[in-house]
Amino acid sequence: MNQENAFLPHVIAPKLLKIIESQTPIGKFYKKATYMSLKNEPGSLDFTIGDSHEMPLHGFVEALQKNAIPQKIGWYGYKVSLPETKKIVSEALKKHRGISIVPDDIFMTNGTIVGLAICLKMLAEEDDEVILNLPPWFGYRKMIQSVGANPIGIPVKPQTFDLDLEKIADSITEKTRAILINSPHNPTGKIFSASTFEKLANILTEASKRYGKPIYLISDETFSRIIFDNQECLSPTQFYPYSFLVYGYSKTWMAPGQRIGYIALPETMPNRPEIRSLIGQLQGLYFGWCFPSALMQYALEDLEKLDLNLDKLQAKRDRMVTELQNMGYEVNIPQGTFFLLVKSPWEDDGAFAELLATNYQVFVFPGTPQEIPGYFRLSLTANDEMITQALPKFKAAREEALKIESKTGS
Ligand SMILES: Cc1ncc(COP(=O)(O)O)c(C=O)c1O
């Protein structure tokens, strides 16, 4: 037990303490107090995470204000997933994704994280294995461990960032309960194709037969409405029946503090009536009332009409890609998400992020803590002014880095 947590055995179950203390790459990064405190100083240009550096979307506040006014008694009583909200989600899935899911198969949650937590808690327990693709969203490992299961990480292919289907197939054992898929993928921005999902479905079907029990697919589709160049973004749940589609509106509205999302069951999922009732029960008192707030459910109809302005986001992506490439950076062009993955001029991405931070007040998220060493990630949720200020600094930092490299010959 480390010094800092010495008092914890009085209040925390030992297994949970062990999980908290097991160091993930992201945990080590967040312990770097200097980096984190510098980031919050005035004048810093923060590109690390997906918090928006602009005012909320036009109409967002009005939707909340309008729906905050009670229209009847009981407006703020205990609420489960509201039928009218589920209907709006069902229509939105059809309109934006071409997916047919009936309202009864939709379960409202407080964002993607809660949907993922419900699926993991329901499916997996002590010593089960859950496969995830690396680099992962930084929350996955601890979420899997927190239900007692072991995360089994499979790196995506290095050049294409596509799923490594062969390695996924090889990693399935009798302990495998589920696989977690994230498309568009944070941080690579990769959208996995229909043929990838078809092959993945075959692998899972085969392995399920081999072990005599279904291996479930949990699909994190939180970025599914942030797609560039009008590309198609398919859901793996449309290829494999034993799947849970998990979504949250945090990214779409760029307002992750005001939370709503859902779990949806594909039409092909067997035993849907039983699963509906199960999720309904678990979501309630068993899992600590994991239903979303009444207000966000009322507001969803108006919020669904908001325009994220993907053209503006894409213009930011194109500007940053072009300018960084012109400076000599190697930039991965994302198909979706609002992240840019850039090759670090130094192999040690943490050291380069530190150089940017300390000498230029520019903050990026290094690749090592995200399990993609040699890169750093930038969030396009920065505003135009920040980008304008940061671009010459990126240029100067790269030049400085290359000079130091040639000086030391390393
Ligand atoms: C891949 C991925 N999944 C889930 C989340 C959490 O989403 P939410 O805020 O909807 O819970 C994030 C947030 O960054 C993410 O990038």
Nearest residue to 290 via CA among 149, 124, 146, 116:
116
Same domain membership, residue 376 and residue 263: no
What are the pocket residues of ligand 1 if the criterion is a CB atom closer than 6 Å to any ligand atom? 50, 111-113, 137, 182, 186, 220, 222, 248, 250, 256, 261
pTM: 0.95
Cα of 143 from ligand 1 centre, angstroms: 12
Across residues 177-186, what is the average pLDDT? 98
Task: Using most ligand atoms within 8 A of CB, pick from 48, 113, 140, 223 the residue to mutate for ligand 1.
Answer: 113
What residue numbers bound the domain in which 317 lies? 32-56+309-408
Across residues 339-344, what is the average pLDDT? 98
- Within-domain flag for 331: yes
Across residues 136-150, what is the average pLDDT? 96
Q: Rounded to whole angstroms, how far apart are CA atoms 67 and 302?
A: 9
CA–chain centroid gap for 48, Å, is 14
Q: Please tell me what DSSP assigns to residue 193.
A: -
Across residues 292-308, what is the average pLDDT? 96
Torsion angle of the four alpha carbons 264, 110, 367, 327, in this order, in degrees rounded to the nearest 10: 90
- CATH number assigned to the domain comprising residue 335: 3.90.1150.10
Cα of 351 from ligand 1 centre, angstroms: 27
- CATH number assigned to the domain comprising residue 266: 3.40.640.10
Angle between helix 349-360 and 384-408 (nearest 10): 120
Q: Look at residues 270, 303, 336 and tell me which one is the last residue of a structural domain.
A: 303
Nearest residue to 317 via CA among 196, 194, 192, 184:
184
Sign of the CA dihedral 51, 54, 55, 60?
negative
Ordered DSSP codes for 368-402: GGGT-TTEEEEETTS-HHHHHHHHHHHHHHHHHHH
Q: Look at residues 273, 303, 333 and tell me which one is the last residue of a structural domain.
A: 303
Where do we find the tokens 């130094």? Answer: 346
Does the pLDDT value for residue 4 go beyond 80? no
CA angle 333, 337, 340 (to 5 degrees): 40
Same domain membership, residue 357 and residue 277: no
Percent of the chain's residues with pLDDT above 90? 87
Nearest residue to 264 via CA among 382, 95, 93, 127:
93
Query: According to the model, what pLDDT value does residue 410 have?
Result: 43
